[in-house]
Each structure stands twice: as structure tokens, then as C-alpha cells.
Structure 1
């Protein structure tokens, strides 16, 4: 669009004696453009263009509503409207969301980079609450990311204790196919009991020390008040919340983790925003320590439960039977991968394979063998020994001598 200054410049050059071709060479405008502006008395106003319909128009109301409800990413919105039938490009979705989303200010940080196979980072994140076994439980997300390839692994848990932390490590190692020389952590009690000035003087959590000594990796602690050293994993926790958890729909904890694993597979197969390379392809360069040749680490996780009067214990929303004679007793569940052993005192009373899902009942017939006969015997004994609540008695009759009744007859004895 021409400005007033450009319009006046063309007319001034013409008044100086330059012809249209000379003005065109001098200003760089086409001869037709010069001719049009010389013939005009005022700066021409371009006609307004009609707005072309966009493929995004049918989805704008949905996008606006989703952005109002949750601060979802453009990539997340793009996937959702693709499932609704949108066949346009990601760019127009991103540009539109940039227009309607309020701008946010992001502070600058310094990023620490690592060489292949050197370091991974681990963190926990709180992700709301979940109702399990009739109780409101905190939901946590464990996440591990490989520093070089940016391969991610995440899983939801109901605890952050040391046993759970170790099991999450084992799951991540299996997912990656190995582990790095060192792993970076926050200063949490499940990892370190007391931090010292020198790394060699740290007092490690004994259970966790046994684990990292078994595998031979080196635990590193994040510098206090310096979260930038764990920036990669902090971003991963936030990414899980924004791109996966936010606005999601799930039926159980198992369903959440099944969908989360699919999400990990997808993001690991897409170019990373920092490296602009695909993590699963860079994984080939990580040179991880292999799991082959290392004896399996035997981890036992303990949970305390009270056996119900119906002879069941509850775990992760499902009910498992135990021998009926232990009804009402306190029990300890020993969890090892998908196997559960139930112990009362020092006696192991039964074992189960942990099943996925929610509100399922796992009943072993032999756990109730003899229960019916015992109930009937108890009922019979109860009837024999029972006492009535009350008793009926007849009216009390007074006994008198016959002489009393003879007196009433009026007869006189001589």
C-alpha cells in the first residue's frame, strides 16, 4: 500500500521532467503503477478483500472452549481436532491459538547438556488425587529422561516411597533397554538421608544404596536452589501434565498408565523441541549400560491391610480372597512385580497374581472350604445355648383349708 510520501515523491519526479520509464527506474515501481498514481488526484485506497473461509472455522468454537477450560498446547489441540475430521495444517492451528491465548512471560535459563550415555534425570510430580479402595489418595508421576537423546519414560503411582522409586527405575531401565552412568536427583529422603559437602560423604538411603550399588550407576544430587540443573526433567513433568493429563478421561490407574505409555511412545517418536531430532533415533547413540548380565534385582514392596469379615483384602481397587479363618486380622502384602504374597504375623497365608482393572473380585474356592459347615455348626450351638428373652407364668392361686369353705355354706355342726 502506498503512503502519502511515496505518492508525492512520484508526482515531484514527474514535475522535474522525468518520464514514466525514468520514474519507474528511479523508484523501482512498475510503469503501470507510476502511470496510475500520476493520473490520480489523491492516494488511491485499495479495495478491501473478502475474507476467505478457513478450514479451521468449524473448529474455532471448540478450540476457544478448550483453551478457556485448560491451557492446552497447540499440538494437543491439533491432535484433538484431527480426530474430529480437521485435515488442515498444524501451522494455522498454532497461529490461531497464539492469537487467542494470553501471552505469558518466560524467564531465561541456562541449559546444561550432557554427552551420550552419561546422565539421566529423575523427578516426581504431584498430579491431583484418585479414589482407591474407598480412600482419597494423592496421585504422583515418576519421570525419567535421558540427557542426550531426550528419551522419556513416565508412570503414575500412589506412593513415592523407596520401594516404589526403585520399581519405577526398573520399569524405566527396561523401557530404555539400559541405563546411564549417573542419574540426577533432588534431595529427597528416599534417595539421600543427609547431604554432605563432599559427594563421598553423603548418607544415602540404605535401601536405595543397595539398589544403585547392585546396578553400578552413580547417583548425583541437584545443587540446592538451582533447578536449572534439572531443567530437562522439570520440563518433562510439566509436559506430561499439559499434553497428556490435562483434560484427559480415564477409568482406572491401570488405564491411566496404559494411555501414558502410549503417549511416551508417541512423543519419543517425534522431533524434540530443543534438539530437533527424534529421541528414539538418538537413543541408538546413547551407549547405555545393558541389562544383560546383571542379576535381576529382587524388590519387595510392603502394604498393610485389614482383612474384611468376608475374608478379602483390597489392593489398587480390586479385592482378593484369603483363608476365611483370618477374617478381621491385620495383614502385610508383599508386592514383587505382578505377584502379591499375604502374610499375617510370620505366617504366609496365600498369594495372588495382581490383576489389572478396577472393582474386580479374585476369589480362590479353597479359601472358603469348610466355612459353610462351620457357620451351620455355630448356628446350631447358638440355638441350643440360647435363652428365651421372657417367660409366661399363670395366675397365683391361694390355698385355703376346707373349714373356711364350710363356714361359707351356713351349715352348723353339732
Structure 2
């Protein structure tokens, strides 16, 4: 997945020829052309699942290696000794597999020491179109007569300091995709890098140092918009201090003077207008002029996407005998011909699409019941 994203970014954004990509990746030109011609952002590789003889003993070997690491050099067991001990436990593999596992484990430990011992340099200045920062905040608004806590997506260009806010009821994958898509629309394009914290809608697992197991659908969005995703160290908000300050400033400059709204659509339209007004009124902290002038200078350096990312999250549902499917404690109707049959449910921020057999069966407005509101209160 990461290699496909890099190939697309080199070809479509950096304009590298296929010969140069071949030299860098050591892939054949036919394979590179196949990736570039395909519209697929999530490649599926057919491969047989084979169980290694070493898999049942991998965790035990790791534990042994960690125990041996605390011993002096003269008292450590050798690879031959490890292999002999495994054979006594029923291992039927070769010594070479055990030796390779030990080499890989030691290399990983050395890499971790180098990463944690050196520290990370975070640039304080950015070039036009180089990066953007993203973060979530929480604020309250009056929607339909109720005071409701909302999740606010903040996106900011690092060079021009232009920013955009959008409010949502939840923090989910499909809402994150919609927030970034709308942000790129308002900001006029996509920078080369995106700086995020380790939010669960993007990172499935945090590894040692900068190693991250990125969510597959988030990787598809990164591959579509051709930017490089970077994640901050845990509990290191200063690595994206610009957007952290925007979250604080927006609470004082925008949310305190917010009127009542009939729905979220009206609220987000008002937020977009207020952000554009702030670009004009705020002076840039480093460049001459205001934020709007700096944004106009940065616009030619942003990549304008050809189309928006189809940011749905798919689920497989079985239709009940009463022609209903359930999602988030709500039931939605499906044509009677698909009763007791599986269908595909595509979840968007504001609607649900039910599909089967390569066609769309029906659409429903999404009912969100997990608003954090206080009934009966209409003021701040």
C-alpha cells in the first residue's frame, strides 16, 4: 500500500519518468505502468496463507532474547544453543531460520535505540505548499434549540496559516475523510505532507519510534490525494503547534459569537464564511500582509485533485426477514427481494447507501443518535 502511494506521488506529483521510478523501486516497468493505469487505491494481492514452522515458537524466542539481553556476553546463549533448545521442544525447522530471526530482532532493537536516543528535528518554518496540520477539537453549539457538544475538525496550511473548521457529531473514519475532502476544497489544493496526531481513525497501532500501522482506508485517502502522512510522537503536541494554537484561538474568535442554527449544514456554512473572513482580518506572523495574501501566494504550489475521494466505510449486513438492516441502533428498510440475503452497506457522514450485485438498491439519511446534548438547555 505504501509503495503504491509513493509510485503515484512520484509520477503524478513529482513528474518522474517511469525509468527513474524503476531505478528507485527495482520494479519492472510493466508493473509500474499497471499500478499507474489502474484506478485502484487499495491493491488486493492473491497469496496463499502458509504457516511457518517457526511461528508457534516466535513469541518464546523473543522472550528468551529479551532475557539474554540483560546477561553479560560470556553468559549469553548462542544461536546454536537456541536451536537445540527449540528442537527439544518439538521444533522441526532449520538452524538458519532461527539465526535469521535473531539477526532481525537485534537489528530492530538497534534501530529503536538509535531512534529514541537521537530525538527528532521538527522544522519551525515551511515552504509554500509543503505541509498542512490536522487536529480535532471539542466545542458546544446550539443546534435545533439544543445545546450540543460537537467534534470540530481543524485543518491549517503551515506556510500561509490559512485554516478551515468543520463541525461533526462524531469522530469516525467516514467523517475524517469528509473533513479532509472539504478542507482541500476550501484551501484550494493539497500540500505535499500532512501532519497528524495518532488518532484512532488513522493509526491502528503505534510502534517503536515513528513506526505506525496505518488504517487501510486512511492509506487509500493518502494515496488518492498524493500527500505523505506524518504522525507526531505520543503526547508531543508541540510537533504540530500551529494547529494546536488554532484550536485555542478559534474558541475565542469564532465560537463565542456563534448564533443558533437549525442543523449542522447551516453551522458548517457559517463556519466556512467566518474562516474566510478571519483570513482577511488576521495578519501573518512571519510574512508581510494578511493570511489571505499569503494563501494567494501559496495557491500555485498546491496540487488540485481531479476528483474528491469517495470516503465511505463499508460493512456487510444480512437483511432480516422483515426486510430491515441495523446500523448504530437504528433500522433501515431494504427492497423485499433481498430479504435474508447479504448486502453491502456504505456509510457516509450524512447518508447510508445499500448496494448488492453491483448496483445501488437504496439510500437513507443517516440518523445519528449519539449527540452529546443537554435537553432543555438552549444557551451557552
User: What is the TM-score of this pair, normalised by structure 2?
Assistant: 0.51
Please name the residue that 2:215 is paired with. 205
Shift of residue 204, structure 1, vs aligned partner: 0.8
* Conserved? CA contact 2:196–2:230, under 8 Å: yes
Q: Is the 8 A contact 2:160 2:284 kept in 1?
A: no
Corresponding residue for residue 215 of structure 1: 225
Question: 2:362 is matched with which residue?
Answer: 350
Greater RCO structure (CA 8 Å; 6+ sep): 2
Distance 1:331 1:270, change over 3 A: farther
Name 1:116's counterpart in structure 2. 128
Answering whether residue 295 of structure 2 is matched by residue 283 of structure 1, we say yes
Deviation at 1:181, TM superposition (A): 1.0
Q: Which residue is equivalent to 2:183?
A: 172
Please tell me whether the aligned partners of residues 112 and 229 of structure 1 are also in contact (alpha carbons under 8 angstroms): no
CA distance in 2, matches of 1:136, 1:348: 36
Q: How does 1:13-412 map to 2 (within 5 A)?
A: 112-128=124-140, 138-199=149-210, 201-248=211-258, 249-272=260-283, 274-275=285-286, 277-286=289-298, 287-292=300-305, 294=306, 296-301=308-313, 334-335=346-347, 340-342=352-354, 349-351=361-363
Distance 1:127 1:332, change over 3 A: farther
- Displacement of 1:234: 1.2
Measured after TM superposition, the shift of residue 154 of structure 1 is: 0.9
Once the two structures are TM-superposed, the CA of residue 118 in structure 1 deviates from its matched residue by 1.1
Q: How far apart in 2 are the matches of 1:149 and 1:274?
A: 10
For each residue in 1:95-125, what CA deviation from the matched residue of structure 2 results, as whole angstroms up to 9, or x when unmatched? xxxxxxxxxxxxxxx9922221111100001
> Which is greater in Rg?
1
Structure 2 vs 1, CA of residues 296 and 163 (structure 1 numbering), >3 Å: closer, same or farther? same
Range 135-144 or range 343-352, more displaced: 343-352
Structure 1 residue runs without a partner (length 5+)? 1-109, 355-414
In the TM superposition, residue 189 of structure 1 has moved relative to its aligned partner by: 1.6
The offset of 1:161, in angstroms, is 1.3
CA distance in 1, matches of 2:332, 2:241: 42
C-alpha change, 1:313 and 1:158, in structure 2 (3 Å) is farther
RMSD of the alignment, in Å? 4.7
Per-residue deviation, residues 323-364 of structure 1 (Å, max 9, x unmatched): 69999xx9986355876424699995423689xxxxxxxxxx
Residues 149 and 140 (structure 1 numbering): CA distance in 2 closer, same or farther, change over 3 Å? Answer: same
**Is 2:131–2:191's contact at 8 Å kept on the other side of the alignment?**
yes
User: Against the structure 1 CA distance between its residues 245 and 313, is the aligned structure 2 distance closer, same or farther, given a 3 Å change threshold?
Assistant: farther
Separation in 2, partners of 1:131, 1:332: 32
Instruction: Label 1:333 to 1:267 Cα distance change in 2 as closer, same or farther (>3 A).
Output: farther
Residues 197-224 of structure 1 deviation map (CA, whole Å, 9 limit, x = unaligned)? 454x421111101111222211111233
User: How far apart in 2 are the matches of 1:254 and 1:312?
Assistant: 28
* Equivalent-residue separation in structure 2 for 1:270 and 1:192 (angstroms): 36
2:293 & 2:326 partners in 1: Cα distance? 42
Distance 1:121 1:255 in 2: 25
Distance in 2 (CA, whole Å) between partners of 1:181 and 1:322 is 42
SS at match of 1:166: helix
Question: For residues 345 and 232 of structure 2, what CA distance do their matches in structure 1 show?
Answer: 34
CA–CA separation in structure 2 for the residues paired with 1:186 and 1:349 = 38
Structure 1 residues 259 and 333, CA gap change in structure 2 (3 angstroms): farther
Question: How many angstroms does 1:289 deviate by?
Answer: 3.4
**CA 1:312–1:225: 2 relative to 1, 3 Å:** closer
**Cα offsets for 1:290-316 (capped at 9, x unmatched):** 224x454222246999x9xxx99999x
Check conservation: 1:335, 1:341, Cα contact below 8 A.
yes
